[in-house]
Amino acid sequence: MAERAAAGGGKWVDVAPERLPRWLENFEARHGAYDEEGLTVTGADGASATLHLPPGAVAVSTVAELIAEARRPRRLGLLLARKGAVAVGIADGDELVTSKVDTHYVQGRTAAGGWSQQRFARRRDNQAKAAAADGAGIAGRLLLPEVRTIAALVTGGDRSAVDAILATPQLAPVAALRAGRLLDVPEPRHAVLVSAVAAARAVPILIQEPVTESRRP
């Protein structure tokens, strides 16, 4: 279970919906019997864990309701982009039911100066625009026909590459479903798209450790 630092302190962990009851049991074992307030549980030692809804889930008010909602099958759109590579798919529950992966060459940055640098920069910009257009075409073919059945669009990779694809006016209905979090994924490949399904379904949990006397200001 990967961890990532949270802005303002604490850490984020992603937990599969099916593992949430066991995760809460382990939290209690580590931090003592916990109190529940809304979607936050606080252990006897002061540690807290705040559960957040996965993309496409409807609002709930208790942890039990969140567990049930997170387990509910949802159709999610997936759009991963990095440099010239794009992967688009639709997941139904935990299964990737349709997908398309494509790679479009985009030249790397050059250390050359003067006219050569400007020429390479223009070429790179044109290649990036062509890659975004190709990615938008793939997203349009796969996602637009299913936009009414998709609960959310989960994106990943390079934010500027994703933004360039979703800036295409025809994709406005898809872009409107975009979830806030950007998945951190390597260059999109089919295997990466498959693993992104689990990341998209996971419940993000913000953990705050108790403040010990030695850490108090």
Three-state secondary structure call for residue 190: helix
Using alpha carbons only, how large is the chain's radius of gyration in Å? Answer: 21
| 158-179 tens-digit pLDDT | 999 999 999 999 999 999 999 9
Residue where the block lists tokens 């975004």: 132
For a pLDDT cut of 90, what percent of the chain falls above it? 75
Residue 210's pLDDT is what? 85
Sheet containing 35-37: order of strands: 3-5, 11-15, 203-208, 48-51, 40-42, 35-37
Residue where the block lists tokens 């993309």: 55
Under a CB-based contact definition with an 8 Å cutoff, are residues 201 and 16 in contact? yes
pLDDT tier for residue 106 given thresholds of 50, 70 and 90: very low
For a pLDDT cut of 70, what percent of the chain falls above it? 83
Q: Up-side HSE of residue 89: CA atoms within 13 Å toward CB?
A: 27
Stated length of the chain: 217
The CATH 3.30.420.60 portion of the chain extends over 75-200
pLDDT tier for residue 11 given thresholds of 50, 70 and 90: very high
Question: What tokens does 65 get?
Answer: 């309701």
Containing 201, the helix (H) or strand (E) segment is helix 190-201
| 30-78 tens-digit pLDDT | 999 999 999 999 999 999 999 999 999 999 999 999 999 999 999 999 9
Residue 103's pLDDT is what? 79
Which of 22, 15, 75 minimizes the C-alpha distance to 51? 15
Q: Region 1-19: what's the mean pLDDT?
A: 90
Full DSSP string of 134-171:
HHHHHHHHHHGGGGGG-SEEEEEE-HHHHHHHHTSGGG
pLDDT tier for residue 124 given thresholds of 50, 70 and 90: low
Question: What tokens does 20 get?
Answer: 């949430």
**Topology of domain 75-200, CATH:** Nucleotidyltransferase; domain 5 (3.30.420)
Check whether 212 has a pLDDT greater than 70.
no
Contacts of 210 (CB under 8 A, 6+ apart): 31, 43, 45, 46, 47
